[in-house]
Structures are given as C-alpha cells and as structure tokens.
C-alpha cells in the first residue's frame, strides 16, 4: 500500500489537545462532584436504586475515557499527523478505538440510567398508545424539540470535544434531576440529616420524613415547560 503523501504546503502545527483535556477535565470534575453528592444523599435516605448504580458505572467509564485521552494527547493527539512520529500516530489510533468503545458503552448506560430514573418518578408513558410507534397514530413529544437540538452540534468542529461534552454533561444533567431531593436532604425542617425514606410505589414518588422528594408532577412540569418553549 502506498504511503499517504503530506499536503504542500503543510498545515500550521497547531495543537488542540490541551483544549480537549481542559474542557473535558472541567466537565469531569462536575461529573464526579454531582455523582458523589447524589450517591451520598441517596444512600443516607436509603433510597438507592438501579438508576444510581448505573450512573456510578457511567462515571467510572467516563473517568477511564478521560485517562485514555490523556495518554493520546501525551503522544501527539490534537496535532496534524504530519508533525508526529508514525509509531505515535499508530498508537493514537489504537487508543482512539479504546476511547470509542468506552464512549459507546457509557452513552448507552447513561441513557438506561436516565430511563430508570424516569420510570422511578413517573408511571405514565409520554407516547400514548405504545402502538403509535408503528401505526403513527397517537400522542408524542413535539418533534421540534429533538430537531432544534440538532443545531447545538453545528458549531462544534472537534468531534472528540463534543463527544465528551455529550457524555459528561449528560451525567451532570441526570444528577441534577435529583436536585430537589438533595435540597430537601440538607435543608429540611429541623436541620437533621437522620431519618428514614420510603419509596411509594402507589404514586411513584420518593418520600423522606414526610417530604416528597420527586413525583409525577415534577416530570410533567418539566415536559410541559419544554413543549411550551418550542411552541411559543
């Protein structure tokens, strides 16, 4: 196989590796903080569930992916291939495949964790009936919600940076969905952090010391607010 010929003239020797690590490292710090607080509060309230267990696995995969990318940047990832040694270029590609596997696995588990959280606080399906998926007849989310979000990816020229933002901010978003329970845990009446928590399967809500942590009305309000924003 003929070797690839470099362009003439060569592109500038720019290095975006530090940008990748800087943005990803900042997001990863938020991931670790929010996940730690979430698990701490859920454990203290004795209300841990599969949504919590899966988000911990996602966080560990995200940390592993960041470690792989640190290794890539150390051998030239972020620079044009013409400015790095051939063996470093090959090694970068190998590590890139490992990073991709970690990304795919973590994104899948992140979606599963979010779905488990939604099933925990809301017992109704947004698409009614389920047969609407194959018949086309039924009620569903306004399609403009998912279409408009596509525009958020247009200006991202570095796919690695965007992939990390998608993963890390997704984890942070899943953790912030429980901000109400965290607030109730730290600021409930009496200032005590001791008490029991129960999961009420009848109304699909979490209750701790007579404080409702999350329930169907929270999910309904979030969905309705999103729909109004795109129909206004």
pLDDT at 146 over 90: no
Q: Is residue 4 part of a domain?
A: no
Q: How confident is the model at residue 48 (pLDDT cuts 50, 70, 90)?
A: confident
Banded model confidence at residue 14, pLDDT cuts 50, 70, 90: confident
> What mean pLDDT comes out for the span 1-6?
64
User: Is residue 44 in some structural domain?
Assistant: yes
5 in a structural domain: no
Tally the domains of the chain: 1
Q: What digits encode the pLDDT tens for the residues 108-131? A: 998 898 888 888 777 665 666 666
Evaluate whether residue 9 is within a structural domain.
Answer: no
φ and ψ at residue 136, rounded to 5 degrees: 80, 5
Closest of 21, 32, 19 to residue 67, by C-alpha: 21
Q: How far apart are CA 50 and CA 202, in angstroms?
A: 19
Count the Cβ atoms, other than its own, within 10 Å of residue 133.
Answer: 10
Residue 139: pLDDT over 50: yes
User: Does 6 map to a domain?
Assistant: no
* Contact in structure between 120 and 221 (CB atoms under 8 Å): no
Contact 66, 24 (CB under 8 A): yes
Residue 35: give the domain boundaries: 17-231
Q: What is the mean pLDDT of the chain?
A: 73
Q: For residue 206, what pLDDT is reported? A: 44
Residue 3 within any structural domain of the chain: no
* Average pLDDT of span 160-180: 71
pLDDT attached to residue 191: 44
> Alpha-carbon distance 12 to 122, whole Å?
53
- Whether 193 is covered by a domain: the verdict is yes
State pLDDT tens for residues 74-108: 998 888 888 888 899 899 999 989 998 998 999 99
């Amino acid at each position: 196989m003929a070797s690839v010929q470099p362009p003439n003239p060569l592109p500038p020797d720019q290095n975006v590796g530090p940008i990748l690590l800087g943005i990803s490292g900042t997001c990863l710090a938020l991931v670790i903080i929010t996940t730690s607080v979430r698990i701490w509060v859920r454990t203290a309230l004795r209300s841990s569930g599969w949504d919590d267990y899966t988000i911990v696995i996602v966080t560990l995969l995200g940390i592993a992916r960041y470690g792989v990318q640190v290794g890539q940047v150390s051998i030239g990832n972020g620079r044009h291939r013409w400015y790095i040694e051939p063996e470093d270029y090959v090694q970068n590609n190998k590590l890139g495949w490992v990073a991709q596997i970690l990304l795919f696995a973590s994104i899948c588990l992140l979606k599963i964790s979010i779905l488990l959280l939604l099933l925990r606080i809301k017992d109704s399906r947004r698409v009614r009936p389920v047969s609407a998926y194959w018949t086309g007849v039924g009620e569903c989310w306004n399609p403009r919600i998912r279409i408009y979000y596509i525009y958020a990816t247009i200006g991202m020229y570095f796919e690695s940076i965007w992939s990390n933002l998608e993963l890390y901010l997704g984890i942070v978003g899943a953790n912030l969905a429980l901000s109400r329970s965290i607030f109730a845990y730290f600021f409930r009446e009496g200032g005590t952090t001791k008490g029991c928590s129960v999961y009420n399967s009848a109304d699909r809500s979490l209750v701790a010391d007579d404080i409702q942590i999350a329930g169907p009305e929270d999910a309904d309000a979030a969905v309705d607010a999103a729909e109004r924003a795109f129909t206004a």
